[in-house]
Amino acid sequence: MTGPVYDLLVRGGRVLDPGEGLDGCRDVGVRGGVIAAVEPALDPASAARVLDARGALVCPGLVDAHAHVYWGATSIGAWPDEVCAGGGVTTVADGGSSGTDTFAGFRRWIAGGSRTRVLCHLNLARIGLTGLVGELRPDLVDPDGVARLIHEHPDLVVGIKLRLSATITGGPCRPMLELGARVSAETGTPLHVHIGGTAEPLSELLPLLSPGDMVTHYQTPRPNGLLDGAGALLPAAREARERGVLFDCGHGMSHFGFAVAEALLAQDFPPDTISSDLSRRSFPALAPGLLTVMNKWLALGMPLADVVRAATASPAAALGWAGRIGALRPGAEADIAVLDWEEGSFTYADALGEHRPARRRLVPVATIRRGTISSAGPGRRDGPAG
């Protein structure tokens, strides 16, 4: 007697995977922790477990390319499974919490101890975000150590983090960007560059970035953002995108401004990736996490497919994991987010206290990581096919 064909069958949902060109009613079969089949109909009797997704949206597991999850080592570190698994996120990339002095603990206890897949943008400074001072100071940066860890841990380190604010560098930001760019070129690892409050205007810094580098907090309302004094997009920003530089939301606590976001959308400059930049401090306001940030972009009129792509296929590619995560294709990791629409009257706030309304929002139904259901909401069948 042969066993079930599938370990899990996610049945009858609207499969939306813009990266794979999928939008329609499909069944998703999972076997051995990977996607085995995506078809219009699969026999539920062929599965050991069935999750009834009828009426729901079935997407690749969400990929949060910027958050702070070095729990226990930094004052802002959230526990990955607490802030990810309940909101459809199956992969998170920490945004520079660890440096060369603290990376071993991050690898063992955070990346190695979480159900959520955890990746790392390694801070150019050896202390990461564990100190109480701005870390990008000449006596704290460790370019040689960063290069060594990238070479030793290519499965975990996906970027080099630079927080380019004058308060972090202690003055001009360009020298640290030039140093980071050198390490990036030597290792083939992209930069993950925080903006907002740089000493220099971005028109002087963006030309130093290379294809694959990522600018985060792109809609920041803080000084020296992507808009000039008249609200127009800096030509240097469009030139950077044209040569392959990526622009990431990086919501955070002080970097999301509705007026800036609306101006960027109006000038045909949407985010390439949508990330939360959540932390232990911001999670209560952002719960369930990345979905709240996605809902803000939906409230601003960004199309659903573009929002889903910016939280799945696009960050997966930016992190060097294209096709392995952020995709519902046979052979990819069986990371799946099941979402639903909630109708009502909702209000979202930005960092400046401005508000925008919404009549519907996405809410989590189930999060599936490597074929295992991490969380499932009420009214969904999660049990033996029987």
Residue 73 sits in the same domain as residue 142:
yes
Residue 102 sits in the same domain as residue 228:
yes
Q: Please check whether residue 183 lies inside any domain of the structure.
A: yes
Is 153 within any annotated ligand binding site? Answer: no
Is 247 within 8 Å of 241 (Cβ atoms)? Answer: yes
- Model confidence pLDDT, tens digit, residues 207-265: 999 999 999 999 999 999 999 999 999 999 999 999 999 999 999 999 999 999 999 99
Type of residue at 206: L
Query: Number of folded domains in the chain?
Result: 2
CA pseudo-torsion sign 80, 83, 86, 88 = negative
Residue 81 sits in the same domain as residue 13:
no
Supply the pTM of this predicted model.
Answer: 0.96
Q: Where are the beta strands (DSSP E) in 102-248?
A: 117-123, 157-163, 191-194, 214-216, 246-247
Residue 280 sits in the same domain as residue 339:
no
Give the H/E segment covering residue 166. helix 166-169
What does the block give as tokens for 263?
A: 């101006």
Q: Please check whether residue 352 lies inside any domain of the structure.
A: no
Residue 51 sits in the same domain as residue 151:
no
Is 334 within 8 Å of 34 (Cβ atoms)? Answer: yes
CATH number of the CATH domain containing 260: 3.20.20.140
- Model confidence pLDDT, tens digit, residues 105-115: 999 999 999 99
Is 355 within any annotated ligand binding site? Answer: no
Residue 293 sits in the same domain as residue 240:
yes
Residue 167 sits in the same domain as residue 28:
no
Is 194 within any annotated ligand binding site? Answer: yes
Task: Please report, in tens digits, the pLDDT of each residue of the chain (386 residues total).
Answer: 478 999 999 999 999 999 999 999 999 999 999 999 999 999 999 999 999 999 999 999 999 999 999 999 999 999 999 999 999 999 999 999 999 999 999 999 999 999 999 999 999 999 999 986 799 999 999 999 999 999 999 999 999 999 999 999 999 999 999 999 999 999 999 999 999 999 999 999 999 999 999 999 999 999 999 999 999 999 999 999 999 999 999 999 999 999 999 999 999 999 999 999 999 999 999 999 999 999 999 999 999 999 999 999 999 999 999 999 999 999 999 999 999 999 999 999 999 999 999 999 999 999 999 999 986 554 444 444 43
Q: Please check whether residue 301 lies inside any domain of the structure.
A: yes
Given this model, what pLDDT does residue 374 score?
81
Given this model, what pLDDT does residue 3 score?
82
Residue 142 sits in the same domain as residue 23:
no
Whole-angstrom CA distances from 88 to 230, 283, 325, 346, 374 are 38, 15, 13, 20, 9
Is 237 within 8 Å of 202 (Cβ atoms)? Answer: yes
Q: Please check whether residue 159 lies inside any domain of the structure.
A: yes
Whole-angstrom CA distances from 284 to 209, 244, 253, 356 are 34, 34, 11, 19
Could you tell me the residue range of the domain that residue 146 belongs to?
Answer: 62-318
Q: Please check whether residue 348 lies inside any domain of the structure.
A: no
Q: Please check whether residue 19 lies inside any domain of the structure.
A: yes
Q: Please check whether residue 283 lies inside any domain of the structure.
A: yes
Q: Please check whether residue 68 lies inside any domain of the structure.
A: yes
Residue 258 sits in the same domain as residue 163:
yes
Residue 193 sits in the same domain as residue 48:
no
Residue 369 sits in the same domain as residue 270:
no
Residue 339 sits in the same domain as residue 274:
no
CATH number of the CATH domain containing 22: 2.30.40.10
Is 43 within 8 Å of 50 (Cβ atoms)? Answer: no
The whole-angstrom distance between residue 94's C-alpha and the CA centroid of its chain comes to 9
Is 161 within any annotated ligand binding site? Answer: yes
Contacts of 320 (CB under 8 A, 6+ apart): 158
CA 119 – CA 368 distance, rounded (Å)? 18
